[in-house]
Structure 1
Amino acid sequence: MSYRTAVLSSLSQAGEAAWTALLARQDSDRAPNPFLSYVFLHALHESGSASADTGWQPQYLALWDGDELAAALPLYVKSHSYGEYVFDWAWADAYERNGVDYYPKLLSAIPFTPVTGPRLMARDAAARAALVAFLCEQQAAAGTSSTHVLYPPEAQADALREAGFLLRSGVQFHWLNQDYESFDAFLASLEHKKRKNIRAERRKVREAGVTLRRVRGSEATDADWRFFHRCYRNTYKEHHSSPYLNLDFFQRIGATMPDNILLVIAERAGRPIAASLLIHTVDTLYGRYWGALEHVPCLHFETAYYQPLEFCIEQRIATFEGGAQGEHKMARGFLPTRTWSAHWLAHPAFSDAIERFLAREGGGIASYMDELNERNPFKA
């Protein structure tokens, strides 16, 4: 079949209806990924959080069959490696030391969001194969150093490997709901020491006089969003870094995808002191951002893990993806899960060197997964 191809500098060129219809066809077993939704991506772009000015130049690939959007790939021209969570700084450094430009590069990812989800969005296998071929054509024509596809599902990673990409694996930590009737039932499934520590952490927060409220997106006020953004900015400030996302972005998603949003706000003596933001569907909760204006021991665990876990149990949500990195999550009932990325490098010598590096790194990841699984926090 012959498709009409296009490179889109704005998601509006695809249109919300066409994009939403294509996304809905990606995974029949799960609700559509909220981070690939038109409103989430459009908010990133229109707020200026992910734009050409911030080093994220949209260059989405689209295949049309008549008036139907048959396939699409979120793609950016990147002038840096910030906000990706699959680290290639050492690769960029090696290029620079050898007098070769690493930037710009092509990147398929959800900006600032290390969440697995479809990247090769297609209505069927034929359209997906045509999309991969179009991507290969574009990367050859662009003259960029490399192409990177971050956090695709394993089947899509395999399809990219068959097209000449190198695969890289990583580890995240996810919590699985075993149809727990209550938070206490979940605690009862853990080893005694883990259970005791969680109860002690929650008690410290209560004894500090902190109360928590969970705010659904439809109930969140402008004041709630402004307070959350203050917390978010303060976290970056404390880590001597600059925040990626602005208040306009958060206000936009609050207005356009309220059914996918949960805010957890901590208060003491009648005033808010900390908050976390989570995104969810009917089957998955995603931990995103946390921040505080004052320090309370264990408050991070309460707002970012324990309150969301209670929410999952109450709402019968099957999976809680805790975000990037963090072995400490295992002590709170999260288990290691393998993630994938796919990489194509134009320079033959660098491609060979990185292929050897990934083989060594992959062996280390496998051993690391084995070690983590031996430390399972649940009762035998």
Structure 2
Amino acid sequence: TVPRFLTAPGEDAPLLRRALLQAAVETAQEQDCSGVHVLYPTDEEADFLEEAGLARRITLQFHWKNPGYQRYDDYLARFDSKRRNQLKRERAAAATQGIQLRTVRGADLTPEHAQRAYTFYTSTCERHAWGQVQLTPGFFERVFRDLPDTVEMVEAVKDGQVIAGAFNLATPERLYGRYWGCTEEHPFLHFNVCLYQSVDDCIRSGRKVFEPGAGGEHKVTRGFEPTAVHSAHLIFDKRLDKAVRSFLRMEHMRLAPAVEEAERICGLKPWATPVPGSTGT
């Protein structure tokens, strides 16, 4: 989630947002696009887009948030003893399986890491019915070459071979989990590569938030908190636009009980995000 309507400081931001949105719609129509979609805007921008007539969607991601942990044990301390022991067992599984975990970043990244990232990415896409390979080897080569301070690669090594990996992107305050894959299946390998190793890294480096990607209600029991993310949609075909808006209203009605259950497990305050359509959209 970042600002999507970029305006210079001191300018009339609401006025320029309206101009930018109008230009986006006109450009999409001129190019015979099916519609305009704004993904991951800020809350303020999502409010503006809804007021402008776009269909607003609210979905959930599960983010790990760091209130100031000094050690990994501080993170474990937030759980009751049963859940704490479960997490300890899951993380300890790697050692009993003869698997070492490491995070590679900065100058230690090589073209070989980019090749492995692509291999793991495609292995996951091909393993699942919903998977679709969209990124190319060249994409990973360019990212690892040109953005070494932004890329992190979590790797699982067994008998001298890298058997699993996660391709992440990082800023000083946030870590973003993107793609993972493996060539061998082991219990809890996914949790160790995609969650626990990076949580520990975030605590060590003082990062405030770890966003491991979409989906995954299993993350709630591991301390990842339900977080609302927004998008807004304008579909030019009136029939399809009506159907999508109807779906979004039903989706939110189904989402609310799941959010409440996730918050109960996390011990969080009740969710207070407004229901799409409450203002007539």
TM-score, scaled relative to structure 2: 0.87
Distance in 2, matches of 1:332 and 1:117, equals 26
Q: Which structure 1 segments of 5+ residues have no match?
A: 1-115
The code of the aligned residue for 1:120 comes to F
Residue in 1 that maps onto 2:81: 192
Distance in 1, matches of 2:157 and 2:112, equals 14
Distance in 2, matches of 1:261 and 1:353, equals 39
* Identical aligned residues as a percent: 36
Distance in 2, matches of 1:261 and 1:215, equals 9
Secondary structure, aligned partner of 1:244: coil
Kept in 2, the 8 Å contact 1:169–1:365? The answer is no
1:105-131 deviation digits (Å, cap 9, x = unpaired): xxxxxxxxxxx2332223240433321
Cα 1:360–1:231 change in 2 (3 A) is closer
Residue in 1 that maps onto 2:190: 300
Residue in 1 that maps onto 2:36: 147
Residue in 2 that maps onto 1:332: 222
The code of the aligned residue for 1:183 comes to Y
Corresponding residue to 1:362 among 252, 257, 260: 252
Cα 1:348–1:228 change in 2 (3 A) is closer
Distance in 2, matches of 1:281 and 1:189, equals 25
TM-score, scaled relative to structure 1: 0.65
Distance in 2, matches of 1:371 and 1:131, equals 39
1:142 shift after superposition: 4.1
Distance in 1, matches of 2:163 and 2:247, equals 45
The code of the aligned residue for 1:373 comes to E
Structure 1 position 348 matched with structure 2 position 233: no
1:263 shift after superposition: 0.8
1:345 shift after superposition: 2.3
Structure 1 position 136 matched with structure 2 position 25: yes
Residue in 1 that maps onto 2:277: none
The code of the aligned residue for 1:181 comes to Q
Residue in 2 that maps onto 1:315: 205
1:294-325 deviation digits (Å, cap 9, x = unpaired): 11211111111011001100110000011001
Distance in 2, matches of 1:357 and 1:228, equals 36
Corresponding residue to 2:149 among 259, 262, 272: 259
Residue in 2 that maps onto 1:72: none
Secondary structure, aligned partner of 1:337: strand
Kept in 1, the 8 Å contact 2:111–2:145? The answer is no
Q: Which structure 2 segments of 5+ residues have no match?
A: 269-281
Residue in 1 that maps onto 2:69: 180
Distance in 1, matches of 2:267 and 2:94, equals 23
1:132-171 deviation digits (Å, cap 9, x = unpaired): 1212333444444322222212211111112211111111
Kept in 1, the 8 Å contact 2:117–2:140? The answer is no
Secondary structure, aligned partner of 1:213: strand
Residue in 2 that maps onto 1:224: 113
Root-mean-square deviation (Å): 1.9
Distance in 2, matches of 1:201 and 1:262, equals 23
Residue in 2 that maps onto 1:214: 103
Higher relative contact order (CA 8 A, sep 6+): 2
Distance in 1, matches of 2:107 and 2:260, equals 42
The code of the aligned residue for 1:280 comes to A
Secondary structure, aligned partner of 2:228: strand
